[in-house]
């Protein structure tokens, strides 16, 4: 019969094993060597420590980069807004320079004697075939009256047909109901410029044997008492046939009526009135 191990034997065995482990784990005489348990612990914990350090470092880098990206995005948005603002300012400055150049041309105009002009901006228009008109941003408050001629530095535009205190409506020379007295600058042949609802004008004159030639320049004749004499009207583009002793020609307007931005309305005459005659003071009566 096999006897069961005694409990005391197990305790002795465990004590010997622990003692042996302690002896093994004690450091050797050389300080360069470590004990077994210490080496075992270091071999086990070092990879775990490195993993933890890398994880913490990675999370910290991601967190830092996240806030850095947020700051970079905000900076990019701010810079983009600044670029847009500067681009808008450059565009406005460019438009201001172009507008100043156009207005400078009005200052260089040689207006007819005794006339003055009022510069206005075009704010709208009616480009339909039945009526060719544009609206101005000035009216009676600026001295503009119905019937006033409208010009640009390139040539005539039309005449004012309606005014309010702050705006005016101009009938363009291309309007089918418009008629302007004109003459050929070289041959002095006189006729009528009419609109036909297109971008071109029609020049009509009584056939007198004088030929109209493409390239002939037309100016106002002043016969209708609206436009001063000598203002540019247009250039003959082509000559038509003679019908009922009337010769016609298509005329290209001198002013670009499709790109009107600023115009000048010629006002009433500003000739100075004659000075009143001086009335001599009565002579002193002689004393009796």
For residue range 88-142, what is the model confidence (pLDDT) as tens digits?
877 777 777 766 777 677 777 777 666 678 889 999 877 565 568 999 999 988 8
pLDDT tens sequence across 158-172: 999 999 999 999 999
Q: What is the pLDDT of residue 281?
A: 47
Which structure tokens are listed for 277? Answer: 């005659």
CA distances to 100, 197, 279 from 94, in Å: 10, 34, 60
Q: What is the chain's mean pLDDT, rounded? A: 76
State phi, psi for 287 to the nearest 5 degrees: -70, 145
Query: pLDDT tens, 10-48?
Result: 777 677 666 656 655 555 555 555 555 556 555 566 666
Q: What is the CATH number of domain 117-266?
A: 2.40.10.340
Enter the pTM of the model.
0.59
Task: For residue 235, give the H/E element and its range.
Answer: strand 232-243
Model pLDDT, residue 136: 93
Residue 78 or residue 177, greater confidence: 177
Average pLDDT over residues 209-232: 87
As a whole number of angstroms, the distance between CA 152 and CA 158 comes to 10
Of the candidates 206, 198, 207, 172, the one whose C-alpha atom is nearest the C-alpha of residue 252 is 198
pLDDT at 128: 61
pLDDT per residue over 46-86, tens digit each?
666 666 666 666 666 666 666 667 777 777 888 888 888 87
* Burial of 192: CB neighbours in 10 Å, binned 0-12, 13-18, 19+: middle
* pLDDT of res. 282: 44
């Amino acid at each position: 019969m096999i006897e069961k191990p005694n409990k005391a034997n197990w305790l002795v065995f465990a004590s010997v094993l622990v003692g042996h482990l302690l002896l093994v784990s004690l450091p050797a005489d050389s300080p360069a060597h470590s004990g077994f348990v210490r080496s075992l612990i270091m071999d086990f914990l070092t990879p775990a420590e490195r993993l933890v350090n890398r994880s913490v470092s990675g999370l910290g880098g991601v967190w830092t980069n996240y806030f850095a990206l947020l700051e970079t995005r905000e900076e990019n948005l701010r810079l983009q807004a600044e670029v847009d603002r500067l681009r808008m300012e450059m565009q406005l400055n460019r438009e201001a320079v172009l507008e100043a150049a156009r207005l400078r041309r009005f200052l260089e105009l040689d207006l007819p004697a005794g006339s003055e002009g009022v510069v206005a901006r075009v704010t709208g228009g009616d480009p339909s075939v039945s009526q060719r008109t544009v609206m101005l941003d000035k009216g009676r408050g600026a001295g503009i009256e119905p019937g006033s001629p409208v010009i640009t530095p390139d040539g005539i535009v039309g005449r004012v047909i309606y005014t309010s205190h702050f705006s005016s409506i101009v009938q363009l020379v291309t309007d089918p109901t418009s008629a302007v007295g004109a003459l050929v600058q070289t041959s002095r042949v006189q006729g009528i410029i009419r609109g036909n609802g297109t971008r071109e004008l029609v020049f009509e004159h009584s056939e007198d044997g004088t030929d109209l030639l493409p390239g002939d320049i037309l100016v106002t004749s002043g016969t209708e008492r609206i436009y001063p004499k000598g203002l540019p009207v247009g250039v003959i583009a082509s000559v038509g046939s003679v019908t009922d002793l009337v010769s016609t020609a298509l005329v290209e307007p001198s002013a670009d009526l499709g790109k009107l931005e600023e115009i000048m309305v010629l006002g009433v005459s500003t000739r100075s009135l004659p000075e009143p005659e001086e009335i001599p003071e009565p002579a002193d009566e002689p004393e009796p």
